[in-house]
Amino acid sequence: MSDTPKSAFDPNPPRRNFYGRRHGKTLRQSQKGYLSEDLGNLRPRGITLQDNPDRKPVDPAGFFGDDRPIWLEIGFGGGEHMVHMAARYPQIGMIGCEPFMNGVASLLTSMAKAGVENIRIWPDDARVLLDALESASLSKIFLLHPDPWPKKRHHKRRFIQDETLDSFARLLRKGGELRIATDDADLANWMLSKTWRHPAFDFQAGCAADWRNRPDDWPETRYGQKQLAGRPVYFRFLRV
């Protein structure tokens, strides 16, 4: 992989299928209110060709109006982890990607209750955002409990792929951190093997406890507490 920054927008982007859900059960009226009133102001600008026709790389710090460190979470579920991190580290900016609108509504509700303002929301395919952001513009990336897609014929749908790791490597600053969690043993082996052999990432574990025990500032999410498939593992990689 080259360290040379790439263009934000590929003039001939690959065709990508989207496999996740976008809508679930009917939202409460209060949740609909948050979506209609707040989401538009928290959505990053300059990502699509409609609002960035010149295809310029997008500096995510601009979403917050300063040069603060930017952290990205992909697939934030109900948003518990994002709200916790945003409240604990008010000096950083959190960007969350989640196309499932029920999860977005839950996040907006939690943000209002917690009073956090350092979160921006991309309610669409995360890969679109990854393509648009400026190189070396992120300090941390989180991918927590992604869909394991357990059937072998569906493994191509898993989020961690060589192409995705190349995008993470491009976007993370040197010394930046990639955090991954799952309770699915097969997915854990998949993600660890692919990330381990990528030249841009260094696995941060000296013993089994380093990946079996959740870091102190890493709150457990409702999904993580369910442990549907087994005991969760918590992988940390540094961008070298």
Residues with catalytic annotation?
Answer: 147
Residues in the chain: 240
* Cα first-last separation, the chain: 12
Q: Strand, helix or coil at 205?
A: coil
Q: Strand, helix or coil at 58?
A: strand
Residues near 140 by Cβ (< 8 Å), separated by ≥ 6? Answer: 69, 71, 72, 172, 176, 177, 178, 179
Nearest-angstrom CA–CA distance, 141 and 219: 15
Residue 172, judged by CB atoms within 10 A of its CB (0-12, 13-18, 19+), counts as: buried
Residues near 4 by Cβ (< 8 Å), separated by ≥ 6? Answer: none
Cα–Cα nearest to 5, from 163, 172, 197: 172
Contact in structure between 166 and 183 (CB atoms under 8 Å): no
- What would the two tokens of residue 232 be? 């969760």
Q: How many CA atoms lie within 13 A of 159 on its CB side?
A: 22
- What would the two tokens of residue 164 be? 């995705």
